[in-house]
């Protein structure tokens, strides 16, 4: 007599409920939290870059910054929709519920400060995404494979501009140095591993950022060297974004971003 075919139990399935259904991300707190962290980073940074639209230093740079913002809003849409109802998560959460890192919510400042923020974030994000293509989660693998190409360009463009500004005029070098100085204290948060992230790492979902901290520091140092800039002195790290403890800037950003859907909940395109 032929034996029954083996039952293929999906990875991550729980014993509860329908036994062969993969556990939904929102049923695993660490998985849900990880999607929010990545999704909120992309969402908040895209909103910041979008603030440049119509205000870029020159037309070509205006378009460049808007393109970066569009890449990121696309990533945020994928990630937040995977976590739940993307629109509700983006527009109906309050500031304490956002899990983005503090770096991405920092104000644009001048063009140099925006470039400093983007260099520091996209270099980190690129190294993360390269490793996220090996995630145990199929969605995250596919997401990372698509996003890593977009972010490779972000990293290149931010590096190019850092070098142009740092190795440019006296004024551009001063502004670039000040921009880096503003953003520098938010680097340690990118490599912080708390209990939630540790659970995601243990589950094979997320790469451990500490594994590429040295590589990150070297990569940033190489760009600063090309830009003839000194790395800012390490400052007291500021942490807490991943737990919802944000700088005062995020509330103002959300007020602008969320105003319309909250005022007109039935608004449609």
Partner 1 sequence: MSSDWPLWEVFVRSKGGLAHRHVGSVHAPDAQLALAHARDTYTRRMEGVSLWVVPSAKIVASDPDQAGELFEPAASKIYRHPTFYDIPDEVKHI
First to last CA, the chain: 60
8 binds partner 1 per the rule CB under 8 A: no
- Pick the binder of partner 1 from 63, 221, 222, 260 (CB under 8 A): 63
For residue 224, what are its two tokens? 């600063």
Please select the residue that binds partner 1; options are 22, 23, 24, 64, rule is CB under 8 A.
64
Q: Shortest distance, CB of residue 157 to partner 1, whole angstroms? A: 6
Give yes or no for residue 77 binding partner 1 (CB under 8 A): no
Work out how close the CB of 68 gets to partner 1 at its nearest, in angstroms, rounded to a whole number: 9
Q: Which of residues 121-160 bind partner 1 (CB under 8 A)?
A: 153, 156-157, 160
Shortest distance, position 108 Cβ to partner 1, whole Å: 17
- Helix residue spans in the chain (DSSP H): 29-50, 59-83, 86-91, 102-105, 111-132, 138-166, 170-183, 187-190, 195-202, 213-226, 248-263
Nearer of residues 16 and 58 to partner 1, judged by Cβ: 58
User: If we measure between CA atoms, which residue out of 106, 240, 247, 99 comes closest to residue 183?
Assistant: 106
Q: Least distance to partner 1 from the beta carbon of 52, Å?
A: 13
CB of 45 to partner 1, least distance (A): 17
Q: Give CA–CA dist 126/227, Å, rounded.
A: 20
- Cα 115 off chain centre by: 15
* Residue nearer to partner 1 on the CB measure, 91 or 153: 153
How many residues touch partner 1 under the rule CB under 8 A: the total is 14
132 is written with which tokens? 């996220």
Question: Count of CB atoms within 10 A of residue 136's CB?
Answer: 13
Residues in contact with partner 1, shown as a per-residue x/- string from 160 to 179 under the rule CB under 8 A: xx--x---------------
Q: Contact 183/12 with Cβ under 8 angstroms?
A: no
Distance CA 269, CA 265 (A): 12
CB of 10 to partner 1, least distance (A): 35
CB of 169 to partner 1, least distance (A): 11
Asked if 55 touches partner 1 (CB under 8 A), the answer is no
Residues 6+ apart with CB under 8 A from 52: 62, 65, 66, 69, 108, 114
Q: Among residues 27, 67, 77, 133, which is the contact residue for partner 1, using CB under 8 A? A: 67
Please report, as ranges, the residues that interact with partner 1 according to CB under 8 A.
Answer: 57-61, 63-64, 67, 153, 156-157, 160-161, 164
């Amino acid at each position: 007599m032929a034996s029954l075919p083996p039952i293929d139990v999906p990875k991550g399935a729980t014993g509860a409920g329908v036994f062969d259904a993969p556990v939904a991300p929102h049923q695993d707190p660490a998985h849900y939290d990880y999607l929010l962290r990545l999704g909120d980073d992309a969402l908040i940074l895209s909103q910041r870059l979008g603030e440049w639209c119509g205000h870029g230093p020159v037309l070509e740079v205006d378009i460049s910054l808007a393109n970066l913002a569009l890449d990121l809003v696309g990533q945020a849409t994928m990630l937040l929709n995977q976590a739940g109802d993307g629109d509700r998560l983006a527009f109906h959460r309050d500031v304490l519920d956002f899990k983005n890192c503090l770096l991405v919510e920092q104000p644009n400042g001048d063009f140099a400060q925006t470039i400093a923020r983007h260099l520091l974030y996209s270099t980190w994000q690129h190294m993360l995404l390269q490793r996220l293509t090996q995630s145990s989660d199929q969605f995250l693998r596919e997401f990372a494979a698509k996003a890593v190409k977009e972010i490779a360009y972000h990293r290149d463009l931010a590096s190019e501009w850092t070098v142009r500004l740092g190795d440019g005029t006296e004024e551009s070098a001063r502004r670039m140095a000040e921009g880096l100085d503003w953003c520098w204290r938010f680097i340690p948060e990118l490599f912080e591993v708390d209990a939630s992230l540790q659970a995601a790492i243990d589950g094979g979902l997320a790469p451990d950022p500490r594994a590429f901290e040295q590589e990150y520091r070297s990569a940033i140092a190489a760009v600063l060297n090309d830009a003839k800039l000194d790395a800012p002195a390490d400052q007291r790290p500021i942490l807490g974004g991943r737990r919802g403890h944000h700088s005062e800037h995020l509330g103002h950003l959300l007020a602008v971003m969320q105003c319309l859907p909250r005022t007109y909940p039935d608004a449609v395109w």
